[in-house]
Amino acid sequence: MAKKNDTMEKLVSLAKRRGYVFPSSEIYGGFGSTWDYGPLGTELIRNIKEAWWRDVVLAHDNVVGINASILMSPEIWKASGHLEHFSDPLVECGNCRRRFRPDDLAKPDQCPVCGKKQLGEARQFNTMFKTFVGPVEDEAAVAYLRPETAQAIFVNFKSVQQASRARMPFGIAQIGKAFRNEITTGNFLFRTREFEQMEMEFFVEPGDDERWFDFWVKERVDWFHRYGIPEEKLQLRAHDPEELAHYSLGTTDIEYEFPFGWSEIEGIARRGDYDLRMHQEASGKDLTYFDQAANEHILPWVVEPSAGVDRAALAFLSQAYAEEEIESAKGEMETRVVLKLDPRLAPTKVAFFPLIKKEPLQEMAHRLQDESRFEWTTFYDEAGAIGRRYRRQDEAGTPFCVTVDFDSLEDDAVTVRDRDTLKQDRVAVAELTAYLREKLAWR
C-alpha cells in the first residue's frame, strides 16, 4: 500500500504519462501552477461536467442553464463586494520576503522556505486579476477576470426568469472558467489560479432557504457517492461564523480525504438576498420576482451549490488510483497500476485490439471500433503483447477492452475484458453493442 505522500507523486506521474494533465508552458519551464489537460484529461473533464449537468440541470424541471462572458462590467464587482471583501490574509517573511496564507503554514511562526521565525502580521490581499479593456491602460479601462461564475447569474436573473417563465423555487446553473490570483498554490490541481466552476443559484421564497439548503447538501453528497467516492472519504464541515464570506448566512463544505489530507471539493452556501439586493441598488434596475399567488414583488433568497471541476477531477482520480498484486501470464506476481474510474467518467470507454498484428484481425478490430466510435470514446492499439496493452489501458482507466483473436474469424465473437474484475466474457459481435450499452449506460 503506497504511503499518502507517495500516492500524490505517483498520481501526478501517471497523469502526465497517460495524457491526463501536463504542466502548462512546460518547454519554457512551466508557468505558476497552471496545468493543461491532455487527451484523456480533456475527456475526463468533459464527462464530469456532463454528469453534473445531467444531474443538476436536466434531472430537474425547475433548473435552467446560462453561459455568460468572463469579462463583465467592473461595477458588478463593486456592487457584489468583491472589490472590498474578496481577499485572503497573507503573512510575509521578514527574511526572504515570501508571502504565505496562514492556514498553509505547518508552523505558524516559521517561514516554510527559509526557516526563519520572522513572519509578520497577516494582511489582506485582493485576489482578483485586473486587466484593461481597449488600447489605453488607465482607470477608465479597468476590468477584472471573474473570480466566480455566480455574479453573472445574479445580473441575468430577471432576463432568465422571464425568458424561461420560471416559477420559484427554481435554479440557474452555469459551468465556466474563473480566476483568482492565489499566492499559495499547490497540491497539483487542487489550488490553481485558473480553474473551472460548476455553480447553481437556487432561488427560493425569503426564509425558505434552510429547507432547500439541506436538500442540496444531500443531493451533492449523493452525487459524489454516485460516481465512485465512498461515504467514508467524504465529510461535511460547517463554516464557523468568523470564517463566513461577506454574503453568506451559512456555508457547509463537502470535503474529500485527498492523499494530502481533508480538503474542500464543494461548498453549499445560503446567500440570502444579498446579491440581488446589492445589484438592484447599484444598477437601479428591478430584480424582484412577482409572486402571483401573493400578488406581490419579492426579492428571492438564494442557495448556492458550487463545485470545482478541477478539484472534482482530482478527487475522482485520487479515489480511482490503485496498485494491485496480480498473477501474470507467466505465473509470476506483478504490480498492476489501475485507475478504477466510474465507467461514466472514464475518458476512454472501450479499447479494441487485434490479438496480433495480422491483417484479418486488424481489419475486424478497426471495423468494430468504427461501429462504436460515435457512441463512446474508443481507442485502438496493436503494439506489443496483449498483456502490455491491457496494462496500458488499466493505467488509462479504460473500463473494457475488446480483443479480436483467430477464433473470432470463425465464430464471429470477441473477448471483452473487464478492467476491475479482470473477468473475460466471450460476446457475439452481433450482441457487442447491446452488451456495452448495458455496462456503460448513464443511470
Q: What is the pLDDT of residues 119-138, one digit of tens each?
A: 988 887 778 888 999 888 87
Amino acid 164 reads: S
DSSP 219-272: HHHHHHHHTT--GGGEEEEEPPGGG--TT-SEEEEEEEEETTEEEEEEEEEEEE
Is the confidence at residue 1, as pLDDT, over 50? no
Q: How many helices, marked H, and strands, marked E, lie in the chain?
A: 13, 24
> What is the band of 37 on the pLDDT scale with cuts at 50, 70, 90?
very high
Beta bridge partners of 100: 91
Assess contact for 369 and 352: CB atoms under 8 A: yes
Tell me the percentage of the chain whose pLDDT exceeds 70.
98
| 70-97 residue pLDDT tens | 999 999 999 999 888 777 788 888 888 7
Residue 257 and residue 268: Cα distance in Å, rounded?
A: 18
- Torsion angles phi and psi, residue 315, rounded to 5: -65, -45
Yes or no: say if 143 and 176 are a contact pair by the CB < 8 Å rule: no
Question: Which of 51-65, 173-187, 422-436 is predicted with the least confidence, judged by mean pLDDT?
Answer: 173-187
Residue 5 has pLDDT above 70, yes or no: no
- Our measurement of the distance from residue 249's CA atom to the centroid of its chain's CA atoms, rounded to an integer in Å, reads 25
CA nearest 436: which of 387, 378, 380?
378
pLDDT of 148 over the 90 cut: yes
Neighbours of 157 (CB within 10 A): 23
Per-residue pLDDT tens digits for 318-330: 999 999 888 776 7
Q: How confident is the model at residue 112 (pLDDT cuts 50, 70, 90)?
A: confident
SS3 425: strand
Q: Is 294 helix (H, G, I), strand (E, B) or coil?
A: coil
The span from the CA of 292 to the CA of 286, in Å, is 17
Average pLDDT of every residue of the chain: 92
Alpha-carbon dihedral of residues 123, 241, 262, 14, nearest 10 degrees? Answer: -60
* Lowest model confidence (mean pLDDT) among 28-37, 197-206, 265-274, 362-371: 28-37
- Laid out side by side, the sheet with 63-65 consists of 63-65, 170-179, 194-204, 301-308, 261-272, 250-258, 234-238
Pairing of strands 234-238, 250-258: antiparallel
Q: Could you please report the per-residue DSSP string of 355-381?
A: SSS-HHHHHHHHHHHHHHTTTS-EEE-
Report if pTM > 0.95. Answer: no
- pLDDT surpasses 60 at 3: no
Look up residue 85 and give its amino acid.
H
Place of cell 470463425: 410
261-272 and 250-258 beta bridge pairing? antiparallel
User: DSSP character for 56?
Assistant: I
Phi, psi (deg, nearest 5) at residue 165: 55, 40
The total of other beta-carbon atoms located within 10 Å of residue 284's CB is: 7
Structural domains in the chain, CATH included, are 38-72+146-317 (3.30.930.10), 348-440 (3.40.50.800)
- Bridge partners (DSSP) of residue 333 are 327
DSSP state of 346: -
Q: Give me the mean pLDDT over the 39-45 stretch.
A: 97
Residue type, 294: A
Residue 311, pLDDT score: 94
What are the contacts of 253-259 at 24+ separation with CB within 8 A? 254/217, 254/220, 254/221, 254/224, 256/224, 256/229, 256/315, 256/318, 256/319, 257/233, 258/8, 258/187, 258/190, 258/314, 258/315, 258/318, 259/4, 259/5, 259/7, 259/8, 259/11, 259/318
Please write the tens of the pLDDT for every residue from 243-275. 888 889 999 999 999 999 999 999 999 999 999
pLDDT at 115 over 80: yes
Determine the Cα–Cα distance for residues 95 and 92; give it in Å rounded to an integer. 9
Q: Per-residue pLDDT tens for 347-377?
A: 999 999 999 999 999 999 999 999 999 999 9
Count of C-beta atoms within a 10 Å radius of residue 290: 12
pLDDT at 405 over 90: yes
CB atoms under 10 Å from CB of 226, counted, come to: 13
Is the pLDDT at 408 greater than 80? The verdict is yes
User: Are residues 153 and 68 in contact, defined by beta-carbon separation less than 8 angstroms?
Assistant: yes
